[in-house]
Amino acid sequence: MMKSFHNEAGLTLIETLIALTIFSVGMLGLSSLTTIVLYGNTLSQKITMATILAHEKIEAVHDISYDQLESQEEKVTTDNRSRYIRETEVRDNTPRQGMKTVSISVYWTQTNSTKNHVSLKTIVIDDR
């Protein structure tokens, strides 16, 4: 039998360095994924808040008398200091005589200057 005189102590150091390199590359990939996920979460929060603001205005529209419905624009700041512009557009006699179509649009600008909006519509009937 022949004895092997190879020293295997250096081999574990090389294996460790290769494993560390693979781990580092994987972590870099995850860090970019984290940024994408955070942006998606922020956008989802803004869409949800804009939808809530539009829905609140639609509820308020149904409490106003038919003759007093009018178009308007207002600036809204939420508890977390996000700023929105809520626009109410009232169209008379649409889709028929004695009806008004009310469109509520809520606009905001993302931190990367992207403009977004959410729009909801309702029809109000003159029930006098």
pLDDT in tens, 8-65: 555 688 888 999 999 999 998 888 888 889 989 999 999 999 999 999 999 999 999 9
pLDDT of 70 over the 80 cut: yes
Residue 66 lies inside a defined structural domain of this protein: yes
Sign, Cα dihedral of 41, 42, 43, 48:
positive
**The predicted structure's pLDDT at residue 10:** 59
Tell whether 22 is covered by a domain.
yes
Identify whether 3 is part of a domain. Answer: no
Q: How many structural domains does the chain have?
A: 1
Question: Would you state the pLDDT for residue 14?
Answer: 86
Domain that holds residue 84: 10-125
Global pTM reads 0.77
| Cβ neighbours of residue 90 closer than 8 Å, sequence gap 6 or more | 69, 70, 71, 100, 101, 102
Top-confidence residue, 128 or 34: 34
Q: Which residue has the tokens 């860090």?
A: 31
- What is the per-residue pLDDT for 80? 85
Residue 124 backbone dihedrals phi, psi, to 5 degrees = -110, 135
Residue 40 inside a domain? The answer is: yes
Class of residue 56 by CB neighbours under 10 A (exposed 0-12, middle 13-18, buried 19+): middle
Residue 71 lies in a domain: yes
* In the chain, % of residues over pLDDT 90: 68
5 within domain boundaries? no
In a domain, 4, yes or no: no
User: Looking at the domain assignment, is residue 18 inside a domain?
Assistant: yes
